[in-house]
Structure 1
Amino acid sequence: MRHVSVIGIGTGNPDHLTLEAIKALQTVEVVFVADKGAEKGGLVRARREVCERAFGERPYRFVELPDPPRERNPADYAATVDAWHAARAELYESAIAREIGEGGRGAFLAWGDPSLYDSTLRILDRIVARGRVAFRYEVIPGISSVQVLAARHRTALNRIGGPVLLTTGRALADGLPPDADSTVVMLDGAPRFDHLDPELTIFWGAYLGSQDEITLSGRLGSVGPEILRVRAEARARHGWIMDVYLLRRPDGTPD
């Protein structure tokens, strides 16, 4: 039977590969990556660098799969994402059947950790449920940008005994939940801070783990405008941006 590994590769820095990830990569013959187009070509290059470090002289195939397009600001977000996942499932299923022979091994590389805001596991579950291509799959955890953010700012994500909320920029549009103390925000394509308490502390990072890494922190009302300016300049310069931030209430006391 075919075997597929879903491998968390961290932030794309080869130094962030775990020993388990390296061992898993050294057993596969083909690596699949989603190609999001020329604008985000740096993401594919980072995956190639990870593979070059892990494989060394061992031969392997690097297969780029053109990511199906999707509307970024749809009226029905859930339906749009479901259709996008369905299109990805068709693409991945064909690639597995075509590129991995019976008894062969392949891998999908997931940014950060496959369990955190990554669709690969859901898509593979769709393929397994259809039963057209038989394979087993395993999941190898990785270092997420959330962990790197905390390390760069030399801070814990939680206060003593306190909760941490992991959410998205879309979910933050109406502000922080009233009981949120420490909030990690991911996938914020168009951040804005004017609707948030200016006394919040923010820890922000972009391109974490790469040579282009940028970090800023401080009182949100003071450093927020600078973050938006630096972020816009970086996105224009690179053509893409991946960032994450932690918001923390003053004194750890919810409103």
Structure 2
Amino acid sequence: MLTLSLIGIGCGDPEQLTLAAIRAINAADLVLIPHKGAAKSDLAELRQAICADVLTSDKTRIAEFDLPVRNAGEADYRRGVDDWHDAVAATWSQEIASHLGSDGRVALLIWGDPSLYDSSLRIARRLDPLPAIEVIPGITSIQALCAAHALPLNGIGEPFLVTTGRRLREGGWPDGTDTVVVMLDGGTAFQSLEPKGLHIWWGAYLGMSDQIIMSGELAEAGPRIVATRQEARERHGWIMDSYILKRRP
């Protein structure tokens, strides 16, 4: 029987791995490590470093593969994502069949946690043949961001909303909450908001040696974050960031 373990590895700091994650990595017969292009090669290298640090089992093999690229120009966003998930699932199935066959345990190391703004669970259910799926939770970028700023996420007895940069840009400030967590922002969607009364806590490369955090009133901190983000993206070739916005009474 084939078992697929989706293992949350946190946001870049190997010390964020749980004991359960370490056990699951060592229980795997095969660990698949995706390549997302030359600009993001350090993400694959970090996964390799984690394996080198925690693997004690001689039976665990590591295989790298090229991840299909999503067509960002697709007019229908959901259709484009759906097609991309099909392509990724086909690649996973091919790599598993090639390196492991139809019996054993295969692991994928998932940035953050597999349940939060990550497509690995949806992709896993498209595999052919369908494996048994095991999920090992990991520290999310939200947790890492709050820890970096020593910030309690919610007000006392108050809700918060987790959304994407695209939704924030298209819909504006959501009703019913004074705290918004923004992930998957390909740009700086907070620039679309009226900054008066808003405070921002921003972080990039959370948990990594290149971590950057900034905070302040949005009117003042926003332009600094935009400039810092652009410079960091040019230097690294990629950026992974998130932020929290709070509305002051």
Alignment of 1:177-196 (within 5 A): 177-196=174-193
Distance 1:80 1:53 in 2: 37
**Equivalent in the alignment of 2:6:** 6
Kept in 2: contact 1:97–1:133 (CA 8 A): no
- Residue 102 (structure 1) shift: 4.8
Secondary structure of 2:27's counterpart equals coil
Report the TM-score when normalising by structure 1: 0.92
The structure 2 residue matched to 1:222, chosen from 220, 223, 226, is 220
Moved more, 87-96 or 241-250: 87-96
Give the gaps of 5 or more residues in structure 1. none
Distance 1:167 1:58 in 2: 42
From the superposition, tell whether residues 73 and 177 of structure 1 become closer, same or farther in structure 2 (CA, over 3 Å). Answer: farther
User: In the TM superposition, what whole-angstrom CA distance separates every residue of 1:149-208 from its partner, at most 9, and x where no partner exists?
Assistant: 000111111111111111100101131113231111001011143321312110000000
Kept in 1: contact 2:16–2:139 (CA 8 A): yes
The structure 1 residue matched to 2:134, chosen from 134, 138, 153, is 138
Distance 1:241 1:28 in 2: 30
User: Number of paired residues?
Assistant: 247
Report the TM-score when normalising by structure 2: 0.94
- Residue 126 (structure 1) shift: 1.4
Structure 2 counterpart of 1:248, which letter?
A: K
* Identical positions, percent: 48
- Residue 125 (structure 1) shift: 0.7
Give the gaps of 5 or more residues in structure 2. none
Distance 1:167 1:235 in 2: 22
Query: What is the alpha-carbon root mean square deviation over aligned residues?
Result: 1.5
Runs of 4+ displaced beyond 4 Å: none
Distance 1:162 1:170 in 2: 24
Distance 2:217 2:71 in 1: 34
Alignment of 1:79-158 (within 5 A): 79-127=79-127, 132-158=128-154
